[in-house]
């Protein structure tokens, strides 16, 4: 019955709201109709027209009053008033475009920045996996990867409803004749069943596919649309993955993005096909030392994370025992491995380790900016409120209630905030995209679903509403708390002390918050500068890095070496290439590590001495090409080939460590834990950054790639080209050269500069965003301070006029205004410094070789703030100094 009524009443309400003229017309017509009928009836009964008319109106008892009662019955009065307020608010905004622009821009930037960062926080840290059934029941294993044996042993324990292992691989895929790199998810049989995801076309993968090592693939929606133009008959078609024919069996739903947040998958294949698509690792499934799998599980019905975790702790030692490589000693660290279960409903992401704390720091910074913006707008509204006092007083005097006026002022603010909110969402959508491309690396692009979902929109609305209350309510209450009679009598120059105090407080708060932001920006900037000023030990300009993976394309051992030697020759032939070389690990390469003990002939090792050195495998002219200095001895040459006597070049740190001041040239060493001194040191090079910019130099030895140990011949090499012409052109030429050698080889090019810049993405992001936010808040403070000072000068014009008439010099007036401003700034800066000192500890872990109490950052913030403050006060101060006493007094 309720619903039924709604069916009738809803259109009526809508009509009352949106077709008001129509409703009013109806009301008029209805009453006129009634009156006319009554008049006619009375005339028929013998009254005169005049009498009948009076009688009819009397019977009605006040037509307008009755109409109003009808309107009330329709319950549209509140809405009408709201519409009035809205119209009024709009008019008054349009009348003061300067005020409207400053307010809207401050709020839109404030709310927008908050929404943007929150969009990222939501997409990366908060959102449950899309399209996955009951994601809250998913769990993942803590820490790093598992071997296939461990996964099988864990699965056999059956502590989950489904146990699933997966690995992401970048493989070459031949789609309709064009070879491209594809991001492939290799998953064990229960993957789709665990996630509760079905195919929208064809079928998903099943345990049978995995058991039978079926060469089948399920396409992700995006890849299906891109590579197959959403072909509805795609099922059954063939795709070549790393040269292996693979049959397409299905397509996953559009929203489904897998379980690794921040990445994009092109298609999914059974885990066991790994030996088909990665033929260079034929034993990866049986090799117990190969740790390459991530594991997730779904809780059994009725089980909690805690209960399953307790169970897991019992079975884990059994899993380790069942999967230990043969001959592992029972005391080995293999059995010490501790794991636990973590909630997996939000999937996994490598980005989280890097960006969780920066994102929360940024969340804090943008919140501060919003407060600064609110203080600004609050100040503007206060000034407006005072300017409009007479208007409000008149309305109060003619009978408007205070609640009604507050409501009207709040409506104005709500209108402002709503427009600002809409602008903010637009700004947020644009800027999150920019943010994501800022954290995207050339080789590891970041894909996050940034479409605003309910949580993001809710956040934006909540922030907007909070903003309205924050900046709007106090001024509205203040503006309407007026004594009628005195205000009406007083002239416009009346001074309300309380309002001034509130405005001053707001400015002080604003300055304090901006100080915190400025200090933060200063800290992140000097941290970033520290990183950039590090001497990397090589020359990054004009060097192109080429990654050509011949190993995945099927070249192995001596064939791979031949491929790379050929490639290097071709690259050297390219016009514009000054020199070219190769190495196994790129300079600044987090994650690449090959360390081993080294023994030196004729040198006694000290007890407990660390003999570990890192190795890299390079071609001749490597040092020359990347600009690493050769300090002594010679570079490798083409004669240092396989079969020739083994040679090595060591870096300065290694030379210092093992040889002190003696020359290492000609000394013989036994590398990689061996005991034969069969390798001769032929040169010493300067230290170059090996892993990351944040490290101290490691001892590193370089060996010709042609003489590298067997296992390294399974790894791809990186080619470097130093060029005198544009790197983009060289990149194109080199790509073509690679394809001529073997069209199945995937090529990626990147400048060495970009490669190094990528390693400090997080620091750059923090530095640039915090500076942007700092500048923004300084700008807002400038506007706010200027507003307050200008207002104060305007109020004081008569007083200044009198003082000047009595002989005060302009300079004295100028300095008195400046002093007034300086007092506010000093108070704000003092509060801000204390707050910054207290807060800066929070970001200590994000700083590189900069103390969170870095004097430079604090001094810089004070300096910038002083400059902004001076700029903001000098204009009104000069105006005060140029007051003409006669004009000012006549103004009175």
Partner 1 sequence: MSKPTDLVQGTLDLLLLKIVALEPLHGWAIAERLKQVSGDVLQVSEGSLYPALHKLEQQGWITAKWQVADTGRRAKFYALSRAGRHALEREAANWKRLSAAISRVIRLNEV
Backbone angles phi, psi at 53, to 5 degrees: -65, -50
Three-state DSSP state, 217 = strand
Contact 707, 631 (CB under 8 A): no
Instruction: In whole angstroms, give the CA distance from residue 70 to residue 557.
Output: 93
Q: Which is nearer to partner 1, 12 or 314 (CB)?
A: 12
Instruction: In whole angstroms, give the CA distance from residue 690 to residue 182.
Output: 29
Least separation in angstroms between residue 70's CB and partner 1 is 4
Q: Using CB under 8 A, which of 20, 53, 66, 694 touches partner 1?
A: 66
Site residue total, partner 1 (CB under 8 A): 29
Instruction: In whole angstroms, give the CA distance from residue 844 to residue 852.
Output: 6
Per-position x/- string for 41-60, each x denoting binding to partner 1 as judged by CB under 8 A, each - no binding: ------------------xx
Q: Using CB under 8 A, which of 19, 37, 143, 809 touches partner 1?
A: 37
Least separation in angstroms between residue 14's CB and partner 1 is 12
Touching partner 1, residues 519-538 (CB under 8 A):
none
14 binds partner 1 (CB under 8 A): no
Q: Using CB under 8 A, which of 9, 726, 794, 851 touches partner 1?
A: 9
Q: Which is nearer to partner 1, 73 or 78 (CB)?
A: 73
8 binds partner 1 (CB under 8 A): yes
Instruction: In whole angstroms, give the CA distance from residue 178 to residue 747.
Output: 13
Q: Which is nearer to partner 1, 64 or 661 (CB)?
A: 64
Q: Which is nearer to partner 1, 1 or 806 (CB)?
A: 1
CA terminus-to-terminus distance, the chain: 70
Q: Using CB under 8 A, which of 14, 19, 28, 33 touches partner 1?
A: 33
Q: Using CB under 8 A, which of 48, 51, 54, 62 touches partner 1?
A: 62
Instruction: In whole angstroms, give the CA distance from residue 704 to residue 637.
Output: 9
558 binds partner 1 (CB under 8 A): no
677 binds partner 1 (CB under 8 A): no
30 binds partner 1 (CB under 8 A): yes
61 binds partner 1 (CB under 8 A): yes
Q: Which is nearer to partner 1, 16 or 181 (CB)?
A: 16
Q: Which is nearer to partner 1, 34 or 311 (CB)?
A: 34
Q: What is the DSSP letter of 613?
A: E
73 binds partner 1 (CB under 8 A): yes
Q: Using CB under 8 A, which of 20, 38, 656, 735 touches partner 1?
A: 38
Q: What is the DSSP letter of 760?
A: T
Three-state DSSP state, 517 = helix
- Token pair for residue 37? 């009928």
Least separation in angstroms between residue 360's CB and partner 1 is 51
Three-state DSSP state, 777 = helix
User: Among 6-14, 465-473, 715-723, 851-859, which window interacts with partner 1 (CB under 8 A)?
Assistant: 6-14
12 binds partner 1 (CB under 8 A): yes
Instruction: In whole angstroms, give the CA distance from residue 822 to residue 829.
Output: 10
Q: Which is nearer to partner 1, 5 or 606 (CB)?
A: 5
Instruction: In whole angstroms, give the CA distance from residue 647 to residue 298.
Output: 54
Least separation in angstroms between residue 9's CB and partner 1 is 4
Instruction: In whole angstroms, give the CA distance from residue 437 to residue 441.
Output: 8
CA–CA distance from 340 to each of 86, 302, 309, 718 (Å)? 57, 19, 7, 38
Least separation in angstroms between residue 80's CB and partner 1 is 15
15 binds partner 1 (CB under 8 A): no
- Per the rule left: phi > 0, alpha: psi between -120 and 50, beta: everything else, 542 is left
Q: Which is nearer to partner 1, 33 or 238 (CB)?
A: 33
Least separation in angstroms between residue 66's CB and partner 1 is 5
Q: Which is nearer to partner 1, 61 or 330 (CB)?
A: 61
18 binds partner 1 (CB under 8 A): no
Least separation in angstroms between residue 21's CB and partner 1 is 15
One-character DSSP codes across 385-417: HHHTHHHHHHHHHTT--HHHHHHHHHHHHHHHH
HEC secondary structure over 272-327: HHHHHHCCCCCCCCCCCCCCCEEEEEECCCCCCHHHHHHHHHHHHHHHHHHHCCCC
Q: Using CB under 8 A, which of 74, 237, 390, 529 touches partner 1?
A: 74
Least separation in angstroms between residue 51's CB and partner 1 is 16
Contacts of 205 (CB under 8 A, 6+ apart): 187, 189, 191, 192, 216, 218, 249, 250, 268, 269, 270
List residues near partner 1 by CB under 8 A: 1, 4-9, 12-13, 26, 29-31, 33-34, 37-38, 59-62, 65-66, 69-70, 72-75
């Amino acid at each position: 019955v309720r619903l039924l009524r709604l069916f009738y009443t809803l259109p009526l309400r809508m009509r009352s709201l949106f077709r008001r003229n129509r409703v009013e017309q109806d009301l008029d017509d209805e009453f006129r109709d009634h009156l006319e009928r009554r008049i006619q009836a009375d005339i028929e009964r013998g009254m005169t027209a005049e009498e009948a008319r009076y009688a009819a109106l009397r019977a009605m008892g006040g037509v307008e009053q009755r109409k109003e009662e009808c309107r009330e019955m329709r319950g549209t009065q509140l809405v009408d008033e709201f519409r009035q307020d809205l119209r009024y608010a709009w008019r008054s905004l349009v009348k003061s475009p300067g005020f409207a622009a400053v307010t809207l821009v401050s709020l839109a930037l404030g709310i927008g920045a908050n929404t943007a960062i929150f969009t990222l926080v939501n997409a990366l840290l908060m959102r449950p996996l899309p399209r996955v059934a009951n994601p809250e029941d998913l769990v993942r294993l803590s820490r790093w990867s598992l071997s296939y044996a461990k996964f099988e042993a864990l699965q056999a324990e059956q502590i989950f409803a489904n146990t699933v292992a997966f690995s992401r691989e970048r493989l070459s895929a031949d789609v309709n004749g064009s070879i491209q790199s594809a991001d492939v998810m290799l998953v064990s049989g229960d993957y789709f069943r665990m996630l509760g995801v079905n195919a929208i076309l064809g079928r998903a993968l099943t345990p049978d596919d995995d058991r039978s090592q079926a060469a089948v693939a399920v396409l992700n929606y995006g890849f299906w649309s891109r590579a197959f133009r959403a072909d509805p008959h795609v099922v059954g078609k063939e795709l070549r993955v790393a040269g292996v024919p693979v049959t397409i069996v299905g397509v996953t739903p559009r929203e489904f993005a897998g379980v690794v947040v921040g990445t994009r998958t092109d298609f999914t294949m059974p885990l066991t096909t790994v030996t088909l698509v990665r033929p260079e690792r034929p034993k990866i499934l049986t090799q117990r030392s190969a740790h390459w799998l991530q594991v997730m599980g779904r809780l059994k019905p009725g089980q909690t994370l805690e209960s399953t975790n307790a169970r897991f702790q019992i079975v884990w030692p059994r899993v380790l025992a069942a999967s230990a490589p043969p001959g592992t000693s029972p005391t080995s660290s293999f059995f010490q491995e501790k794991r636990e279960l973590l909630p997996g409903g939000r999937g996994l992401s490598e980005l989280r380790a890097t960006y969780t704390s920066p994102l929360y720091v940024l969340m804090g910074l943008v919140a501060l900016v919003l407060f600064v913006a609110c203080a600004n707008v609050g100040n503007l509204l206060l000034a407006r409120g005072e300017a409009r006092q007479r208007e409000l007083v008149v309305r109060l005097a003619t009978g408007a209630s205070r609640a009604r006026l507050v409501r009207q002022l709040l409506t104005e603010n709500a209108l402002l905030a709503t427009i600002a909110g809409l602008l903010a969402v637009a700004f947020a959508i644009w800027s999150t995209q920019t943010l994501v491309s800022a954290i995207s690396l050339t080789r590891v692009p970041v894909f996050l679903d940034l479409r605003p979902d309910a949580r993001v929109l809710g956040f934006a609305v909540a922030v907007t509403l909070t903003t309205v209350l924050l900046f709007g309510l106090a001024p509205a209450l203040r503006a309407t708390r007026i004594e009628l009679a005195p205000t009406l009598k007083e002239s416009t120059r009346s001074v309300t002390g309380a309002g001034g105090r509130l405005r001053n407080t707001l400015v002080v708060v604003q300055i304090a918050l901006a100080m915190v932001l400025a200090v933060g920006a200063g800290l992140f900037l000097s941290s970033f500068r520290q990183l950039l000023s590090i001497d990397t030990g090589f020359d990054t300009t004009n060097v192109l890095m080429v990654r050509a993976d011949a190993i995945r394309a099927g070249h192995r051992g001596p064939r791979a070496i031949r491929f790379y030697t050929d490639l290097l020759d071709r690259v050297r032939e390219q016009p514009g290439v000054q020199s070219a070389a190769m190495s196994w690990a790129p300079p600044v390469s987090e994650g690449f590590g090959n360390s081993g003990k080294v023994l030196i002939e004729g040198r006694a090792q000290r007890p407990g001495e660390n003999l570990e050195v890192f190795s890299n495998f390079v071609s001749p002219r490597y040092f020359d090409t990347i600009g690493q200095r050769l300090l002594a001895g010679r570079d490798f040459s083409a004669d240092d080939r396989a079969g020739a006597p083994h040679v090595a070049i060591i870096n300065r740190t290694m030379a210092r460590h093992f040889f002190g001041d003696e020359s290492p040239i000609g000394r013989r060493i036994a590398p990689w834990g061996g005991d034969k001194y069969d390798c001769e040191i032929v040169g010493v090079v300067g230290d170059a950054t090996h892993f990351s910019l944040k490290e101290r130099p490691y001892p590193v030895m370089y060996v010709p790639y042609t003489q590298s140990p067997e296992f390294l011949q399974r790894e791809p090499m990186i080619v470097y080209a130093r060029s005198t012409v544009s790197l983009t052109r060289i990149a194109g030429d080199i790509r073509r050269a690679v394809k001529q050698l073997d069209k199945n080889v995937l090529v990626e090019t990147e400048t060495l500069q970009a490669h190094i810049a990528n390693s400090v993405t997080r620091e750059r992001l923090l530095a640039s965003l915090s500076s942007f936010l700092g500048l923004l808040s300084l700008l807002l403070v400038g506007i706010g301070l200027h507003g307050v000072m200008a207002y104060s000068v305007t109020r004081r014009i008569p007083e200044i006029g009198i003082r000047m008439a009595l002989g005060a010099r302009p300079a004295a007036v100028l300095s008195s205004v400046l002093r007034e401003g300086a007092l506010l700034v000093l108070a704000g800066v003092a509060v801000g410094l204390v707050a910054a000192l207290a807060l800066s500890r929070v970001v200590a872990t994000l700083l590189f070789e900069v103390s969170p109490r870095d004097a430079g950052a604090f001094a810089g913030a004070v300096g910038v703030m002083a400059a902004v403050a001076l700029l903001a006060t000098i204009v009104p101060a000069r105006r005060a100094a140029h007051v003409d006493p006669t004009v000012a007094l006549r103004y009175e």
